[in-house]
Amino acid sequence: MTTIAQHREVKRVAVLIPAFCEEATVAEIVKQALVCVPDVIVVDDASTDETAARAEAAGATVIRRKINGGKGASLTEGFRYILSHGFDAVIALDADGFHDPAEISKFLEAYYRTHLPVLIGNRMVGNCHLTLARRWTVGLMRYWLDRLFGVYVPDPPCGFRFYRCDVLPFLLEEKSSLPSEFETLLNVASRRIRVGSVRITRTPKRHKSPISPFRDLIRFGRVLVKYYKKVKKPRKKIRLIDEEI
C-alpha cells in the first residue's frame, strides 16, 4: 500500500498555470511567478490567441495542447510533465489574474512550517470579491465535503494550490471531464492525506468570468454521487485538515 510520508524535503518546486485564451494576463503572471520559483510551466489548452507565445516570451516552459480539453485536462498534462521531470512539488494557479503570484511564497512558507502535502488557498476572508451566489455555492461545497467525507476545506473550488509530488499519482488515477478542484479533494480524502489551507487574496478579473456557480454546484453534486456509489457507504469521518495556516 502506498503511503504519504509525513515529512519530505522539497527542493525543486514548479508553478503550473493552465491557460486558455489569456493573452492579456498570462505574461505578467509568468513574470511574477518567476520571481518566486525558477520553473514556470504553462499548459496552453489550444488557445486561439497569443497565449502560448506570450507565456514563452515571458520565460515559461509552454506545453501546447492541440485539442481544447478544459482545465482538468490541462492540469493532468502538467502534472504528468512535472512528475517526469523530477520536481518535488507543484503550485497551481490560474492565468486570468484572479490569483496573486506574489502569494506563492505563502504556500512555500506554510509547507516548510507544517509539511502538509496538500495546501489549498482560502479566499473566504476579508474582501474576496466573490459574488453572493458564488459564496453560497462555496459554502454548500464546504458543507457537503465535511458532512460526507469528514474533510473541512474553507474554499473547496479554489485553484491556487500546493501539491507535493508524491500526492500527484493519486490525482491522476481517474480521468474526469469535471473541474479537477472538486474531484482532487475527494481523491485526497479517500486516502486520508492531510490537507491545510492558506489565506490568500483575490483580485477582480479584467474580463467577465465564464464560470457559473450553479453549474459548478451541479458538477460538484455529480462528483459526490459518483464517489458515494464507489464507496457504497460513508467511511468513518476523520478530520484531515489542520487549523488555518
| For range 83-106, the mean pLDDT | 95
- 215 pLDDT more than 90: no
**Can you read off the three cell numbers belonging to residue 54?**
506570450
pLDDT at residue 35, rounded to an integer: 97
**8 Å CB contact between 7 and 38:** no
Q: What is the pLDDT of residue 89?
A: 97
For range 8-31, the mean pLDDT: 95
Looking at 6-20, 56-70, 202-216, which range is the least confident one?
202-216
Q: Domains of the chain (ranges plus CATH)? A: 13-231 (3.90.550.10)
> Residue for cell digits 502538509?
116
Angle made by CA atoms 192, 198, 170, in degrees to the nearest 5? 30
What's the pLDDT score for residue 241?
46
Q: Binning pLDDT at 50, 70 and 90, where does residue 194 land?
A: confident
Q: Would you state the pLDDT for residue 240?
A: 45
Q: Which residue has the higher pLDDT, 5 or 29?
A: 29
Q: Is 70 left (phi over 0), alpha (psi -120 to 50) or beta?
A: left
Closest CA to 79 of 148, 180, 153, 223: 180
Q: Does residue 101 register a pLDDT over 80?
A: yes
CA 16 to chain centre: 9
**Averaged pLDDT of the chain:** 82
What residues pair up with 43 in beta bridges, in sequence order? 18, 63
Mean pLDDT (whole number) for 167-191: 72
Residue 58 confidence (pLDDT) above 80: yes
Residue 130 or residue 123, greater confidence: 123
| β-bridge partners, 40 | 15
| 89-104 average pLDDT score | 95
Whether pLDDT at 178 is above 50: no
Question: Is a pLDDT exceeding 50 seen at residue 119?
Answer: yes
| Contact present, 162 and 202 (Cβ < 8 Å) | no
**Least confidently predicted of 52-61, 106-115, 174-183:** 174-183
pLDDT beyond 50 at 245: yes
